Amino acid sequence: MTELQKAKKVRIQKFLSALGVASRRAVEEMVMEGRISVNGRTRTKLPVLVHGGVDEIRLDGMVVDTRSPDKVYYLLNKPAGVVCTRQDPAGRRRAIDLIGDAPSGVHCVGRLDMDSTGLIVLTNDGELTQRLTHPRHGIPKTYVVEISGRLDEKQMATLKAPAYLDGRKTAGLKVRALRRRRDRSVLEITLREGRNREIRRLLARLGHKVLRLKRTAVGSITDRGVKVGNHRMLKRAEVAALLKNASAPGEEGSSPAPVPLRKRKSVGRSAGRNRGIPGGRTTARAGGGRNAPGRSKRRRGRKK
């Protein structure tokens, strides 16, 4: 193989993700499970480098079409009882089944519980999938949640504060009460993470069972005009907005990294006056502070 061919080799998870086969993390798992072969050789360890258009890649024995497909983007309002998975051994209805004309490689971006309803993006754009699902990008998702019981102010504050799930610290939730009654409450919750059943688990800790959960927005895209069970194509501007919201740290659309602050020594009122710090009065004479030698001697003299 020539040096030019070597230079074009890329990691298999990036290559197959760009084709819409699966997310990078899913491809890595496929390799470790021995489901992928390259040029007839089963690979079970990473890294795996491939040359697009030259190497033959098989997934579960089937040749992967390495021709780049046209990228498509769908917004689905998922009904309850539908699963967001590529394959389901139980034979349940999948989100992709609701989009009959979807080309091969289209998959759900992230997940939404089977019992939950609301918006889910489906695409064969592996790069968009990577950007929207990677924890560091933190694209906001908004939910309307109906729970049992009344959520008081103390519990609201608990939800907003960071907590630990599976040994990792969460970023906290943005919570707004839409309706609060003795037996039921309705909340609007926004989060920037994709932890497994995060909202349900945090509310369960406070003794509240989730009765209904609906995702109403992904970034700036809302469910307006998309009925439950229906879908539509995303517009170019909407795809661009998703990418902007999911910009990596340091890129446009991202929050700047926090600047570490150095501790400042506390400055007393007298020191502030003597040093001319704004907000304090300066002394008329230099050396007229409380600890000046002459002043302490005069005080001792008066005491005698």
Catalytic amino acids? 113
Torsion of CA 192, 193, 196, 199, to 10 degrees: -40
Structure token pair of residue 18? 């760009």
Distance CA 226, CA 267 (A): 60
Distance CA 84, CA 78 (A): 9
Whose structure tokens read 């030259």? 54
Distance CA 263, CA 272 (A): 17
CA atoms within 13 A on the CB side of 213: 19
Cβ of 63: how many Cβ atoms within 10 Å? 10
Distance CA 152, CA 145 (A): 15
Distance CA 61, CA 36 (A): 8
**Side chain identity, residue 157:** A
Radius of gyration from C-alpha coordinates of the chain? 29
Whose structure tokens read 């926004």? 190
